[in-house]
Structure 1
Amino acid sequence: MLVTTLVLVLTVLVLYVLYVGRFMRWHSMNTQGNAYFGKTLQERREIKNKIIKHAPFVSPFVRFLALAAYNPEKMPKTTYKNVTGPMITSSNDSFKAGSEYKPTEDDIIVATQMRCGTTWMQQIVFELLHKGEGDLTDTGYKHLNSASAWIECSQHTGVPLADSPKLGDAQKRVLKTHFPTSLCPYNEKAKYIYVARHPVSCYASVHDFVSSIAGPFAPPPHQFIDWFCSDGFFWTSWPHHVNGWWDWSQKRDNVTFVHFEELKANPENVVRQIASFLNVKITDEELEKILVKIDFAYMREREEYFEMVPPSVNTVMSKTHFFNGGKSNRHQEVQPHERTKINTFVSDYLSESDYPLNTYYPDVVKQEPTIEATEELRPTA
């Protein structure tokens, strides 16, 4: 009886592993590279629905792998020249290929630390080049990731870098990157747009996003914040990233620096600035069309045309949207002790930097006790 039971259990386990392996192969074939984003909306929905159908049965295996490979000190990652990236969308080879890419005068490169407005700026540039008539439907590019390559990850997701299309009458490529300046390929004839966001807002958005895509592989909260406050964070730390790009923007005319909060507060003004920087002339009527199509509500309603990564077992089981909030004051929702830790880290890191942290994010700057406050804290006789 015992032998029979063991044989039955082993048979079920073998069949389950074969099932998971078959699903994983199918998933890889339909989501790697541009295999997902290059499909029609209906085809993408069919793929996502199939993943949703199988997710409850595959997720126990994913959780088992996470438990078996659990290392509280490390996220699944790739590392190239001391810059890390998520293993799910990058590799040493893709980072190497991205860093060795040779930009041309036809390239407009949108750069950010992750979750700081990358997709938003890509959409702005995409619509500027099409004068507000950009088409991401099945009759057009199908998806933003098929219209705009990700420099260091195009081997794993979206249109290959070599095939990124030239857009609009100007025939420009829109490329995105999270590379710090130490790895970002540079050409004085290309154009670079960098977007920065409040570091604590960045942290909150990254936490939601990584928890969604990494699922059980994501670090717990107390380790997540330590990881964020280090140069071992994906694409290096927020202050390291911002400092490098600010330096480029101050020394190079073909690099411009935008703040997420400015874009949120006055999108028309920022769009006009970007248009001028790119030498794109638009009419008032075209500007109105662009403003409609870069509005957060518009993009969230059409999230299927903008999502950054293909669906997976983890993402379909998560309640987090790709466009989760888009708030300029997201940092205020973070716990005080987390805000303090991040603010102190950023303030100390940038203490000798030229980046005007006190101008753009004064609440981040570490406040030294005033003489009055010091007097109040002294014990009375």
Structure 2
Amino acid sequence: MQMELPSRPTLFDFHGVSMTKYFTDNWDSVQNFKARPDDILIATYPKAGTTWVSYILDLLHFSQMSPERQESVPLHDRVPFLEIHMPGITSGVDELNKLTTFPRIIKTHLPVQFIPKSFWEENSKIIYVARNAKDSAVSYFHFDRMNMVQPEPGDWSSFLQRFMEGKMVFGSWYEHVRGWWEKKQSSSNILYLFYEDLIEDTERELDRLCSFLGLSATIELKRQVMEKVLFDNMKHNKMVNGSVDEVFDSKISPFMRKGKVGDWKNHFTVQQNEQFDEDYKRKMKNTDLQFRTVL
């Protein structure tokens, strides 16, 4: 049976962050979520390589123990989305409470101030992945075009303007990446990764992940993981490429589009780029957080 597609939502201000009802309707359950010490939380601003890192972690933990899951269970069921709450699908919290595999690998796009406090109390491991603002904006634009439960994106130039103003689901990119960066300075349970580093040297970042999680992966397992998580292999794997997700219209744009650094150059005009750079300097002047926009 085809699920009835929910309508595109409108943005509203939620405790100072732009959100839609699909991520706030279950707020009390999300805030009261009981994290465990062995949980692994993957936190990102949307379109920063969330699926990629989710898949890497799932393979590291489960590909040998239960290989059949790889062929039969979509990644979004293996790595539930904490705050999602939509008519016709099980909420992220309920999905997580039903999981029988350990560790639970959990995905969130929440800014740091919205993370349920049990994650801090239990000292669960948190992996934050950040991606440069220009590529994030481009990727988010194409995602909103094809995702029927995101607000209508409009054209590229108005979308970019809203991105700069932070009028995006999950709020401002600038505040998101900075908030998590600041929290990391005082929290040893956060590993802060960069999308660009993952692209540049996946093996090195894989080793950092293993070391942070206390995993001793064999050379063979690492080789298999590296092979499976190549962009083209993921793009053709229907368990991870979003093709089984009914809210995505892949005819408009594929869920896994390019997975590159620097695609922003195909979208930004010279003028947009100058305006963006100026605005960026202003917003990022009080942080030592540095991004690369080309490799």
Q: Same fold (TM over 0.5)?
A: yes
Structure 2 CA distance for partners of 1:287 and 1:104, relative to 1, 3 Å: same
Question: Which residue does the alignment assign to 1:187?
Answer: 120
| In the alignment, structure 1 residue 245 sits paired with structure 2 residue 180 | yes
Per-residue deviation, residues 251-277 of structure 1 (Å, max 9, x unmatched):
111001000010011101101110110
Q: Which sections of structure 1, spanning at least 5 residues, go unmatched? A: 1-22, 33-61, 67-74, 364-381
For normalisation by structure 2, the TM-score amounts to: 0.86
* Contact 2:70–2:239 (Cα < 8 Å) also in 1: no
Question: Which residue does the alignment assign to 1:4?
Answer: none
Distance, in Å, in 1 between the alignment partners of 2:63 and 2:103 is 13
Structure 2 CA distance for partners of 1:191 and 1:308, relative to 1, 3 Å: farther
Distance, in Å, in 1 between the alignment partners of 2:82 and 2:244 is 14
Question: Which residue does the alignment assign to 2:264?
Answer: 331
Q: CA deviation at 1:216?
A: 9.2
Q: Which sections of structure 2, spanning at least 5 residues, go unmatched? A: none
Q: CA deviation at 1:218?
A: 2.6
Structure 2 CA distance for partners of 1:324 and 1:161, relative to 1, 3 Å: same
Aligned counterpart for 1:105 among listed residues 29, 37, 42: 37
| In the alignment, structure 1 residue 178 sits paired with structure 2 residue 109 | yes
Distance, in Å, in 1 between the alignment partners of 2:52 and 2:29 is 25
| In the alignment, structure 1 residue 149 sits paired with structure 2 residue 80 | yes
For normalisation by structure 1, the TM-score amounts to: 0.68
| In the alignment, structure 1 residue 289 sits paired with structure 2 residue 224 | yes
Distance, in Å, in 2 between the alignment partners of 1:86 and 1:307 is 21
* 1:27-42 equivalence runs, <5 A: 27-28=3-4
Aligned counterpart for 1:271 among listed residues 179, 182, 206: 206
Q: Which moved more, 1:274-283 or 1:77-86?
A: 77-86
Question: Which residue does the alignment assign to 2:136?
Answer: 202
Structure 2 CA distance for partners of 1:113 and 1:309, relative to 1, 3 Å: farther
For 1:287, the aligned partner's letter is K
Distance, in Å, in 2 between the alignment partners of 1:93 and 1:277 is 33
Question: What is the SS of the residue equivalent to 1:287?
Answer: helix
Question: Which residue does the alignment assign to 2:24?
Answer: 92
Distance, in Å, in 1 between the alignment partners of 2:292 and 2:25 is 36
Q: CA RMSD in A?
A: 2.7
Aligned counterpart for 2:167 among listed residues 226, 232, 254: 232
Aligned counterpart for 2:279 among listed residues 345, 353, 370: 345
For 1:195, the aligned partner's letter is V
Q: CA deviation at 1:107?
A: 1.1
Distance, in Å, in 2 between the alignment partners of 1:161 and 1:306 is 23
Distance, in Å, in 2 between the alignment partners of 1:308 and 1:149 is 17
Structure 2 CA distance for partners of 1:113 and 1:93, relative to 1, 3 Å: same
Q: Which has the higher contact order (CA 8 A, sep 6+)?
A: 2
Question: Which residue does the alignment assign to 1:305?
Answer: 240
Question: Which residue does the alignment assign to 2:60?
Answer: 128
Per-residue deviation, residues 138-175 of structure 1 (Å, max 9, x unmatched):
2xxx10111111111155556642433254xxx20000
Q: CA deviation at 1:206?
A: 0.6
Q: In the comparison of the two structures, how many residue pairs are matched?
A: 284
Question: Which residue does the alignment assign to 1:375?
Answer: none
* Contact 2:48–2:136 (Cα < 8 Å) also in 1: yes
Higher helix proportion (structure 1 or 2): 1
Q: CA deviation at 1:346?
A: 2.4
Per-residue deviation, residues 166-204 of structure 1 (Å, max 9, x unmatched):
54xxx2000001100110123252010011111100011
Q: CA deviation at 1:224?
A: 1.0
